[in-house]
Every structure is written in C-alpha cells, then in structure tokens.
C-alpha cells in the first residue's frame, strides 16, 4: 500500500514542516526521510463549502466495509439508470465533484461517490493509492459495473490502478487534471518539503523497501493505462494548472491508446471541476463517446 500526494504548501502546518525538515535533513537525513514518509501518507481534511453540503444532505448515505480495518462513507443520488462513479483526489472528498451530479441525473444516470479512506467522513488518519484503489473495488463490487468513472487528479491514478489490477470495470473514463507519473508526484512532494538530496534518498529507500523496486512503475498511471485500449478515456487538463502540470496530462494521453485530450484555460486545478463547459463535455462523452473538435 503506497503513494499519496500533498499538492500545496497552504495545507495547514506543511509550510512549517518544510522549514524544519529542510534543516533536519541537512544533519539527520535518515530521520528526515522517515518523517517525510509519514507525512506522505497523511491527507489533510478540508471543510466542505456550503455548495457541497447541499448535495451531501440530499444523498442516500451508507458505509461500505473494504476490509477489516477500512470503511468508507458512500453517497448515492438517483434511483434509476446506469451508474457513474465520482472519484476525488488526494486531500479531497466525494462532494468536490458535486457540480457533475445534477447534469448526470438530468442525463439519466445514477451517481455514486465515496470519501476515500482517511478523507472526508471516512475514518482513518493515513492511507495510500493501493488502499484507496481497493476501496474503489469494494464500491464496484457493490454498485458496479459503472457506465463511467469521473476522476480528479490523484483519483485518476487510483482509477487507472483499479482498472488494470483489480478488475474494476467502467465503459468510459474521464480524468480531470491527471498525473501521468507517480515519480512526478514524489519529486513534487519532496520539493514542497524542501528535502535535501540525502533525505530524499532516505525517503525513497523506505518506500522501495516496503513496497518493492517496481513501485513507481506499478502505480504510475502512464504504465497502467497502456493496457486500457478498450476503455475510451477523455483527459481534461487546464493550461494554468499549478499543481499537476499540463505536461502530465499529455504524458498520460500519449500512453493511453483510447484517449482524447481536452485543454482548457484559466481554470486551474480545482475550479475546472465546476466549469459548465467541462461538465457538458464530460456528460456528452459518457453518453456518446463524443468529444468537442478542440479536444485533440
């Protein structure tokens, strides 16, 4: 079980941690690497804004057991039609994608979403990509197969892993602000914490010792989508995304035989989830596999 992602220094406490980890890393790199590794697996829970709470209050709610030590909060909207799963990213929550719910319901879909382990209303303090992917699989066993999955950021990596390795099925997949390579997230995280080289090496050694030398390739979306030629994908990435560079979306697009890439401007990493045009293109793609002419 491995790999998480802390996207921004404005997360409470991360800026202070970066200062002292940088200092500690220069004198005790092994300890700094260990502390960074612990931080790597600990998501931060942000408060849900009012626009999300409205949808939380209208959902059919339950908890789904994934394994003995993992339970996730699940939400459902609609009672008829094919099912679409919303998969949030690291530090996120199910209702971050709530702007998609009404258009999907109007198009005749049911909507399923869950808070990943240690996120939102789901219990836990630490988690990782593989645990979240297994949670997705548990949700799929209960409510799948899915007509579509709409995933954001780190959730795209989770989805790609679940599709390739865990037998999860979706007819079509939409990935918004997607990372292409897990080492990119790892290096970005190390940069945010200002870890010196030796501390980075100690951090990486701990990850590899625990999960194996092939951990980066095994979990990278770029590697996992190569075998998804029968799963059409629409990747949507904003040119002004400062958290996951648009180059990552291009990497994933080039690796995914059945994918299309749509670029936007001025929406960043999160506002893109509330953009009416992005939502309309997403619903149309799930319905008919069609993309706008500007999508290539």
Q: DSSP of 248-277, one letter per residue?
A: HHHHHHHH-TTEEEEEESS-TTTGGGG-HH
Per-residue pLDDT at 6? 44
Lowest-pLDDT choice from 9-18, 33-42, 82-91, 164-173: 9-18
Q: Tell me if 275 sits within 8 A of 264, measured CB to CB.
A: yes
pLDDT higher than threshold 50 for residue 238: yes
* Domain contains 227: yes
* Domain contains 211: no
| Average pLDDT of span 105-123 | 98
pLDDT band, residue 24 (cuts 50/70/90): confident
Neighbours of 13 (CB within 10 A): 9
* Domain contains 76: yes
Kindly state the tokens that stand for 206. 């701990």
* Domain contains 19: no
Q: How far apart are CA 188 and CA 194, in angstroms?
A: 10
Percent of the chain with pLDDT over 70: 92
Angle between the 129-143 and 154-165 helix axes, to the nearest 10 degrees? Answer: 60
Domain extent at residue 127? 46-180+219-295
* Domain contains 206: no
* Residue 121: CATH number of its domain: 3.40.50.1820
* Domain contains 22: no
- Residue 250's alpha-carbon distances to 10, 161, 245, in angstroms, are 27, 18, 9
- Kindly state the DSSP code that residue 243 receives in the 8-state scheme: S
Sort strands 110-114 and 60-67 into parallel, antiparallel or unpaired.
Answer: unpaired
Q: How far apart are CA 129 and CA 219, in angstroms?
A: 8
Q: Cα 262 to chain center, whole Å?
A: 18
pLDDT band, residue 128 (cuts 50/70/90): very high
- Provide the domain count of the chain: 1
* Domain contains 114: yes
Per-residue pLDDT at 288? 87
* Domain contains 189: no
Lowest-pLDDT choice from 55-59, 163-167, 182-186, 287-291: 287-291
């Amino acid at each position: 079980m491995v790999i998480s992602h802390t996207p921004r220094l404005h997360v409470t406490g991360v800026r202070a941690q970066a200062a002292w980890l940088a200092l500690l890393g220069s004198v005790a790199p092994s300890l700094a690497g260990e502390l960074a590794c612990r931080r790597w697996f600990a998501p931060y829970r942000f408060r849900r804004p009012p626009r999300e709470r409205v949808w939380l209050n209208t959902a059919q709610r339950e908890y789904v057991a994934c394994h003995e030590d993992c339970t996730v909060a699940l939400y459902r909207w609609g009672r008829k039609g094919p099912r679409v799963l919303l998969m949030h990213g690291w530090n996120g929550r199910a209702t971050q994608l709530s702007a998609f719910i009404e258009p999907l319901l109007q198009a005749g879909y049911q909507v399923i979403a869950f808070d990943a382990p240690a996120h939102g209303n789901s219990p836990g303090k630490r988690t990782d990509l593989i645990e979240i992917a297994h949670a997705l699989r548990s949700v799929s066993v209960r409510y799948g197969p899915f007509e579509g999955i709409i995933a954001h950021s780190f959730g795209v990596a989770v989805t790609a892993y679940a599709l390739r390795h865990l037998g999860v099925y979706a007819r079509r997949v939409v990935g918004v602000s997607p990372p292409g390579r897990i080492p990119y997230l790892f290096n970005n995280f190390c940069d945010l914490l200002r870890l010196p080289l030796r501390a980075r090496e100690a951090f990486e050694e701990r990850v590899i010792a625990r999960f194996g030398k092939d951990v980066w390739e095994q979990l990278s979306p770029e590697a996992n989508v190569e075998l998804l030629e029968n799963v059409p994908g629409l990747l949507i990435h904003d040119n002004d995304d400062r958290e996951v560079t648009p180059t990552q979306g291009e990497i994933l697009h080039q690796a995914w035989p059945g994918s299309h890439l749509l670029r936007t401007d001025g929406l960043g990493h999160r506002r893109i989830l509330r953009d009416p045009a992005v939502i309309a293109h997403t619903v149309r793609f799930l319905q008919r596999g069609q993309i706008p002419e500007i999508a290539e």
